[in-house]
Chain A
Amino acid sequence: MNAIEVTGLTKAFHGRKVVDDVSLSVARGEIAGFLGPNGSGKTTCIRMMCGLLTPDAGDGQVLGHDIRREARAIKRQVGYMTQKFSYYEDLTIEENLAFVAGLYALPAEAVRDTLAGLGLTSRRSQLAGSLSGGWKQRLALAACIMHKPKLLLLDEPTAGVDPKARREFWDEIHGLAADGLTVLVSTHYMDEAERCHRINYIAYGRLIAHGTVPEVIASAGLTTFLVTADRPGELAARLRKAPGVEQVAPFGTTLHVTGTDRAALERALTEAGASFQPGETSLEDVFIRLMGQSRDNMA
């Protein structure tokens, strides 16, 4: 049975649908990426799955418990890391962990083990409020895995964290998944999406793509050419207007030119007199296209 199996989740705030008919399944032991632009409904979805929000429509199960009726049972087995740091800034690391351990009725060793496991022992008497972003994130992760949950819901855990700390964080997540923990992690970093086993892409409240990274890229049916030019800015401006060209993204002196119709794309590039070679379509190209599509659908 899947760790997360929800169908038709819908939630509106003040008459505006923030999440619209989202169905999601996450297998046990999987690291599932939850992607989408800001305000696309990722946080609302996660909150509905851990019982913090009541869905207007839809239902489902998390770890075999009904999300509407068994929120308490879900809370006990889920570790939820909020987007905004939500531990007590006027408590030390150790005091925060002891508070959480108390609420889960964990033995005193749990705090000590967690501190050691995450390399927080030397900083345990430091006030949470005085920690840098990376350390706050570490504390939050420590607090939500202390009770050995079966599912981790991480809401943009690496926002504002430096690359080294991000790398370490992901190593930690993969380590936990290897031990059988299921992880749903929301992010809008593409490199992080590629670290997930499967991804789910949500935009404007709708789930519009899901699968492994290669599957999602393949299903978009995009062709990308790499164009080198002396004056890429000027060429990019011209190409954007050309028929068949859907995206032009500059990467240094190279342009990534993307479109669905390979023939039309080649024609446009030849007409522009550009020298080009086939390139790989990136996840970012796919997402930008998906976002544009779903915005058109909304309009």
Chain B
Amino acid sequence: MTGISLRRLGALLRKELIQMRRDRITFAMMLLVPLMQLVLFGYAINSDPKHLPAALVAPTQDRFSRAMVSALELTGYYDFTHVGISATEAEALITRGAVAFVVTLPSDFGRRVERGDAPQILIEADATDPSVASGAISTLGTVAAEALQRETGASPTQPPVGIVVHKRYNPEGITQYNIVPGLLGVVLQMILVMMTSMALTREIERGTMENLLALPATPVEIMLGKVMPYMGVGAVQVAVVLLAARLLFGVPFVGSFGVLAAGIFTFVLALVILGYLISTLARTQMQAMQLTFFFFLPSLMLSGFMFPFRGMPGWAQTLGEVFPLTHFLRLIRAVMLKGAGQPDIAQPMAALMVFVLVYGLLALARFRRTLD
């Protein structure tokens, strides 16, 4: 019985391969996960995002302001989505995260350029994610100067404008300010989805499901009974991460706690119901783990947590919208770092509620009241 017998080894290998083939979900994961990672890392991720939405606040439209806009757009970094709006409107846009930059020209901009007294242009950048704005800001000075020099035909000895860059919300460009609030979303997602994804598979594996179904509990009651305890777990995690954000990392909290709490509550609800939905799809706890992982990986990469959301191509951004984490990141960063209020976060909030509804309905539809 010593040494390696090819017959015995063959028998072991054959049995493993049969089991591998029978477990369809595992088999699919083995093929899909590498493919998914390849596509995401290869095509979707870009740490020097371009085509960032920008707003222009210019009381008067003249050839100089137009020259500025077209020169900035030519860099590829700026897309002026909102032109000729008021300062108040621009402020709302940047708080909501609808634009990454607000370029403000003084009212007598054209006249002062012609006079050659170097008027100041204010560029406000949303620096909550410091890496997003850096490329755009670095090209700024030269581009603006060249554009106006072409317009005025003046000598390049003296710069025609003065540029003031104002990095909003995170002037020192501290990465933690961006990462730590996002981390709350990631931690919640990882633990809560994983725990609740076992909810029904555990009953099935332990053989208690048959009894549970024979007892007079409705599908909604079973679902709520399964997910509500984990909302409590989520609450503890939120408290821990928020305290750590404050005490260990000194992340500012400028918004309203009530607004954030409402957002977190909705997010957590979406997560636990998503986990429950996974548990109605998986047959074993192992499959539940794999499905959770399969969801977790792209959401981490496409949500804007690891890499700037705006750096991704359009299809990847669209894909990113299907993850609750994407919307939660917008929400928590807006509230914690920018002091966004209820109206500013209406959009991500609505998105999270849609997730709660859709996941809940899918889970109830998937739930089998019988053993058929």
Contacts and interface: CB of A to CB of B under 8 A. Distances in A.
A170 interface: no
B214 A53 contact: no
A150 B216 CA distance: 15
Given A75-B216, A76-B216, A103-B216, A87 B211 contact: yes
A82 B371 contact: no
Contacts of A89: 206
Contact of A53 (B208, B215, B217, B371): B371
B214 A88 contact: no
Contacts of A277: none
Contacts of B209: 86
A51 B215 CA distance: 11
B222 to A, nearest CB: 10
B210 interface: yes
A103 B217 contact: yes
A204 interface: no
A6 B211 CA distance: 22
B207 to A, nearest CB: 5
Nearest to A140: B211
A72 B216 CA distance: 7
Chain A at the B interface: SS class: loop
Contact of B214 (A54, A75, A84, A85): A75
B211 A86 contact: yes
Contacts of A289: none
B195 interface: no
Find the residue from B209, B214, B369, B371 having the highest chain A CB count within 10 A: B214
A217 B82 CA distance: 92
Nearest to B222: A103
B372 A85 contact: no
B245 to A, nearest CB: 35
A116 interface: no
Given A53-B371, A85-B207, A88-B208, A100 B215 contact: yes
A51 B210 CA distance: 11
Interface in B182-236: 206-211, 213-217
Interface residues of A, number: 22
B206 A52 contact: no
B136 to A, nearest CB: 56
Interface string A46-72: 010011111000000000000000011
A231 B211 CA distance: 51
A22 to B, nearest CB: 17
Given A52-B214, A75-B214, A80-B214, A47 B208 contact: no
Contacts of B370: 51-54, 71
Nearest to A91: B208
Nearest to B214: A80
Contacts of B372: 53-54
A82 B214 contact: yes
A104 interface: yes
A100 B208 CA distance: 12
Interface in A135-187: none
Nearest to A44: B371
Contact of A84 (B207, B216, B371): B207
Given A52-B370, A52-B371, A54-B370, A87 B215 contact: no
Contacts of A75: 214-216
Contact of B216 (A53, A87, A88, A104): A104
A52 B213 contact: yes
Contacts of A50: 214
Contacts of B213: 52
Interface in B272-308: none
A24 B371 CA distance: 22
A69 to B, nearest CB: 13
A75 B211 CA distance: 11
A130 B345 CA distance: 52
A54 B369 CA distance: 10
* Closest CB pairs A-B (n = 10): A86-B211, A80-B214, A103-B215, A84-B207, A86-B208, A75-B216, A52-B371, A82-B210, A76-B216, A86-B207
Interface of A: 47, 50-54, 71-72, 75-76, 78, 80, 82, 84-89, 100, 103-104
Interface of B: 206-211, 213-217, 369-372
Given A53-B372, A80-B211, A80-B214, 8 more contacts: A52-B210, A52-B371, A71-B370, A75-B214, A75-B215, A76-B216, A82-B207, A86-B210
16 contacts: A51-B370, A52-B370, A53-B370, A53-B372, A72-B216, A75-B214, A75-B215, A82-B207, A82-B210, A82-B211, A84-B207, A86-B207, A86-B211, A89-B206, A103-B215, A103-B217
